[in-house]
Structures are given as structure tokens and as C-alpha cells.
Amino acid sequence: MTTIQPTETRSADAGRELGGTGLAREIRARAAADAAELTESGTTPGLAVVVATDDESSAWYVRSIARAAGKAGIDCRTVDLGAGADPERIRATLENLSADESVHGIILQTPLPAGAHFEDLASAIDPRKDVDGANPVSLGNLAAGMSAYPPATAAAVLELLDHHEIELAGRNCVVVGRSNVVGKPVAQLLLQRDATVTICHRHTPELTAFTPDADVLVVAVGKPDLITDKHVRDGAIVVDVGTNPTADGGLVGDVDPSVQVAGLTPVPGGVGPVTTALLLQHTVRSAIHSTRPARHAAGPQLRTGSEH
Ligand SMILES: Nc1nc(=O)c2c([nH]1)NC[C@@H]1CN(c3ccc(C(=O)N[C@@H](CCC(=O)O)C(=O)O)cc3)C=[N+]21
């Protein structure tokens, strides 16, 4: 007997899943090989993670950094100052780590205790060790097309797009979210790649006035299901940077996972793992630079995108 199967329009329209776990594995393997070579020549890359929060998403990230760093041969220390830590103590910790020769990378976890100001404290991180691009000097250098570590999450968005061979030059990119850790640096990186960039944020009256024009939509807000079918056109590529913990211990992004688009990064398994891998890569690069003469350490390195 023959039964006629209904056409599976949904899966045909579902588009590509732009996963990040394979890419993350490649980046970690490369970082591990470079770290081993460096250790052989007498310098073990060191990463310091400064924590002043009991936020769940941050705790997960910190454990994941420690685990991945250990496997890659990076000496990782977590400095947990407690959820109510005094801003002056956080600043002093960052200053000490900046002066510590065994430390090549420093990341200050967000969120911070009430009364502590992220950009202000991050200015105590030596830009040469600022592997998560948190010091406003790093963001300024990035915007000016000078050499700087972009925040690992922002860099992960670009790595994922490149890995999946998404064209950026001349295309419409819309970024939703304007934080200094994701939205702004992602916009700068897309600009450097000759995209036309629009940034939407909490004061944008109607996202639908902008997001349907996006060839590439990057969403970094922190609100489950913020982006649904009405926000995107079929052919769009969507990068979901959201990591929202759910009541049952899972994780969801900012994009309704059933949106019909040409490509969507999954949560989990998309931007997240690449972020952790790039933090390690930046740390190993910083360690490599630390072994070179000073003029190479933070030399100006003009990128494209500074012309009109
Ligand atoms: N200064 C600073 N920089 C950050 O980049 C930063 C931060 N503070 N504070 C906390 C958030 C959170 N965050 C995550 C990174 C990776 C995953 C990740 O890899 N998640 C896995 C799955 C996790 C799961 O299954 O629970 C995934 O997406 O596949 C999650 C969350 C970075 N953050």
C-alpha cells in the first residue's frame, strides 16, 4: 500500500542552522597548539577571570572558560570577589593583574554589583591584556580601525559569519542592541567589512521599520522571542547572541527558533562556544605579543574602513 506523504514545507523552508561548535573546536585546537609551543619556549599563557556577581549565565561562562582554558594549556585563575564586592577592590584587583607578568589576559565578568560602573572599572585593564575588549580605549581603537581585541562575543559573530561564508561587503546589516560589549563593537566590525550598518535599540519605536531590510540581522538584547517572523524576511541570515537562562536550566536566545529565514545561529551551540574559544585565542595572542619587543606589542595597525 502506498501512502502519499504531505509535503514537508516547514523543513524545506527552515533554512540553514549556522552552528558554532565545530568552529569553536577548531579555534580551541589552534589556541592549544600555539599555547603548547609558547610554553615550550618558556611562557605559559595566563588568563585571569574576575568575578563580582552570582549571575547564573556568568557562572556558567566562568566554569566553561576555566574548563576550556585548562584543556588548551592556558593557566586560568578565577578571582571571585563576591557579589557585593566594593568597586575599589575590583579596580585594585584589575590593576594588580595588569601588572602581573604571568597574566596575559584579563576578563571582568558582567553584571557588576550595584554602584560599580563597568567601563570605569575596565579602564584599569591594561589594553594589551584586554582580551575581552572591555577597556573604552579598546573600543575606541576598534572604532578608529586600530589594533585592539574586540570583545570575544562580538568577534564570535564575525567568525561565525565568515565560517558559514556569509558575504558582508555592501550588504544591509541590522544590529539590535547597542551595548559596549556586543552591539557597538559588532557594528564596528561589520563596518570594517564594508557592510551598511543600522543599530536599533530600546528607543527604536518599531523594530519592524528596520529589521525586515536586513540581509544580516544580529540580535544582542537579552529578551527571549524578541524577534519573530514579522521582523525578518525569508532570505535573511540571523545571528542570535542572546543567552537567556530558562526556568528548567536550559538556555534560549532572543530569536524565536521557528523563524523562517535562510540561516539562523542556534542557542545553545551558536555564538556561545565560539565566544569562549576566541577568549582563549586572544589570550594566547596576547602571550605571544608579550614575548616580542615592545614596539610590536601594541603597534598601530590600520584596518580598512577608515576611508569614506
Ligand atoms: N565581560 C563579560 N563578557 C562576556 O562575554 C560575558 C559576561 N561578561 N558575562 C556573562 C555573559 C554570558 N556569556 C556566555 C558565553 C558563552 C555561553 C555559552 O557558550 N553557552 C553555551 C551553552 C550553555 C548551556 O547549555 O547552558 C552555548 O551557547 O552553546 C553562554 C554565555 C558571556 N558573557
Say how far apart CA 55 and CA 42 lie, in whole Å: 36
- Please tell me the residue having the least CA distance from ligand 1 atom 19: 272
Residue pair 131/284 in contact by the 8 Å Cβ criterion: no
Segment 244-249 long-range contacts (CB within 8 Å, at least 24 positions apart): 244/57, 245/56, 245/57
Residue pair 156/278 in contact by the 8 Å Cβ criterion: yes
**Above 90 in pLDDT, residue 61?**
yes
What domains sit in the chain, N to C, each tagged with a CATH number?
A: 42-135 (3.40.50.10860), 152-272 (3.40.50.720)
Say how far apart CA 91 and CA 102 lie, in whole Å: 19
Res 302: pLDDT: 55
**Residue 183 amino acid letter:** G
Specify which residues 251 forms β-bridges with.
245
CA of 20, closest atom in ligand 1: 29
Res 142: pLDDT: 97
What percentage of the chain reaches a pLDDT higher than 70?
91
177 is in an annotated binding site: yes
Res 293: pLDDT: 78
CB-based pocket (< 6 A), ligand 1:
57-58, 60-61, 64, 107-110, 132, 134, 152-153, 181, 243, 251, 267-269, 272-273, 275-276
**Nearest-10 Cα torsion for 174, 177, 179, 183:** -20
Residue pair 90/50 in contact by the 8 Å Cβ criterion: yes
- Asked if this assembly's ipTM is beyond 0.85, the reply is yes
Note the pLDDT tens digit of each residue in 129-170: 999 999 999 999 999 999 999 999 999 999 999 999 999 999
The predicted model gives 213-232 an average pLDDT of 98
**Above 80 in pLDDT, residue 9?**
no
- Name the pLDDT band for 305 (thresholds 50, 70, 90): low
Q: Is the pTM of this model over 0.90?
A: yes
Say how far apart CA 266 and CA 272 lie, in whole Å: 9
Note the pLDDT tens digit of each residue in 169-203: 999 999 999 999 999 999 999 999 999 999 999 99
- Please tell me the residue having the least CA distance from ligand 1 atom 27: 268
Helix axes 271-290, 152-163, angle to 10 degrees: 110
Res 198: pLDDT: 98
Note the pLDDT tens digit of each residue in 102-126: 999 999 999 999 999 999 999 999 9
- Name the pLDDT band for 12 (thresholds 50, 70, 90): very low
Note the pLDDT tens digit of each residue in 249-260: 899 999 999 999
Top mutation candidate among 60, 118, 240 for ligand 1, by most atoms within 8 Å of CB: 60
**What value, to the nearest 5°, has the Cα angle with vertex 81 and ends 80 and 82?**
95
**Above 70 in pLDDT, residue 304?**
no
How does the average pLDDT of the chain come out, rounded?
93
- Name the pLDDT band for 11 (thresholds 50, 70, 90): very low
CA of 53, closest atom in ligand 1: 9
Res 308: pLDDT: 76
